[in-house]
């Protein structure tokens, strides 16, 4: 794969393979045609909404896409709150004007929470994003074109590239490509030996391992593994819940 090398690459590809086994579709980020500052997969989101609301006119679908792309707020954390509270979890009201002159107010849910298989799950790696600085997050999980999870991975065989370095990298991303974190729900950091999950806005101490695959049996160890995290948290229905 162009532009990738070393053990960190192998860790990335293994992580992608684990997600593919759960039914996620893999897309190599540099092959996605879009404006470099755009973090939403607009065509995927538009198709998902059109499939979910087939009677709505194209103009209404386009308005819904625009509202989801850029939530209101004066800074990143406020926009993230608006996105999750006002749009993602509760849905939002959309005024739709039909060709026959009818006007309807429709409640729009960008994700089908009741049936995971009616949503599009993508795992995208090395997506080039332009902001204050250009960045390429290792892995992003998209649901219906919305970038909800970011993975930052470090080489398992490099002593100095620890999970703390991965967390620190996220903090740089939050400044350099803040638009990605307006929509983010969850972050994963890992050096292969220690794998943690948490919120991008949380301090390092609040990132923790995922310790169970089935929700009942605890896995051995205190640092968690990528296998436990992905098999425990990322089955589609569980991630949505």
- pLDDT at position 161 is 73
User: 84 with 131, same domain?
Assistant: no
- pLDDT at position 2 is 41
Encoded tokens for 158: 């490099």
Give the count of beta carbons closer than 10 Å to the beta carbon of residue 209: 19
User: 34 with 48, same domain?
Assistant: no
User: 120 with 194, same domain?
Assistant: yes
176: Cα separation from own chain's centroid: 17
Say how many domains are in the chain: 2
All residues at 6 or more sequence positions from 22 whose CB lies less than 8 Å from its CB, including other chains: 230, 231, 234, 235, 236
The closest of 30, 18, 73, 3 to 213, measured between CA atoms, is 18
- The CATH number of residue 155's host domain is 3.90.1570.50
pLDDT digits (tens, 9 = 90+) for 42-67: 999 999 999 999 999 999 999 999 99
- pLDDT at position 116 is 97
Domain boundary (108, 137, 159) is at: 108
Decide if 147 contacts 40 (C-beta within 8 A): yes
- Judged by DSSP in three states, 49 sits in helix
Q: How far, in Å, are 19, 178, 188, 235, 239 from residue 232 at the CA level?
A: 11, 28, 13, 7, 9
Domain boundary (108, 140, 157) is at: 108
The closest of 26, 25, 60 to 46, measured between CA atoms, is 60
User: 177 with 222, same domain?
Assistant: yes
Q: How many Å is the maximal CA-CA distance in the chain?
A: 66
Segments of the chain scoring below 50 in pLDDT: 1-6
- pLDDT at position 88 is 96
Q: How far, in Å, are 42, 53, 115, 180, 220 from residue 65 at the CA level?
A: 7, 13, 21, 16, 43
- pLDDT at position 216 is 72
User: 221 with 144, same domain?
Assistant: yes
Distance CA 230, CA 34 (A): 28
Domain boundary (108, 141, 157) is at: 108
User: 95 with 166, same domain?
Assistant: no
Identify the domain containing residue 163 by its residue range: 6-38+115-240
User: 19 with 50, same domain?
Assistant: no
Please name every residue paired with 174 in a beta bridge, in sequence order, or none if there are none.
none
User: 23 with 58, same domain?
Assistant: no
User: 49 with 166, same domain?
Assistant: no
User: 125 with 192, same domain?
Assistant: yes
Is 1 within the bounds of a domain? no
Q: Is the pTM of this model over 0.85?
A: yes
User: 154 with 172, same domain?
Assistant: yes
Please name every residue paired with 141 in a beta bridge, in sequence order, or none if there are none.
123, 149
């Amino acid at each position: 794969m162009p532009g990738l090398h070393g053990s960190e690459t192998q860790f990335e590809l293994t992580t992608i393979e684990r997600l593919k086994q759960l039914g996620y579709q893999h897309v190599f980020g540099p092959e996605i045609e879009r404006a470099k500052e755009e973090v939403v997969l607009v065509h995927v989101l538009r198709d998902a909404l059109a499939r979910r609301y087939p009677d709505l006119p194209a103009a209404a679908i386009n308005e819904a896409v625009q509202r989801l792309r850029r939530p209101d707020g004066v800074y990143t954390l406020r926009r993230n709150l608006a996105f999750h509270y006002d749009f993602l979890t509760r849905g939002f009201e959309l005024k739709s004007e039909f060709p026959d002159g009818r006007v309807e107010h429709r409640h729009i849910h960008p994700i089908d929470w009741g049936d995971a298989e009616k949503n599009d799950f993508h795992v995208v790696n090395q997506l080039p994003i332009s902001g204050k600085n250009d960045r390429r997050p290792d892995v992003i999980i998209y649901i219906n074109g919305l970038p909800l999870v970011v993975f930052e991975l470090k080489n398992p065989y490099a002593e100095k590239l620890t999970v703390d370095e991965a967390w620190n990298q996220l903090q740089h991303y939050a400044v350099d490509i803040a638009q990605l974190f307006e929509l983010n729900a969850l972050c994963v950091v890992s050096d292969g030996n220690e794998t943690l999950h948490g919120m991008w806005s949380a301090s390092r101490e609040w990132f923790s391992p995922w310790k169970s695959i089935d929700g009942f049996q605890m896995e051995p160890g205190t640092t968690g593994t990528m296998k436990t995290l992905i098999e425990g948290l990322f089955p589609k229905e569980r991630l949505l819940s």
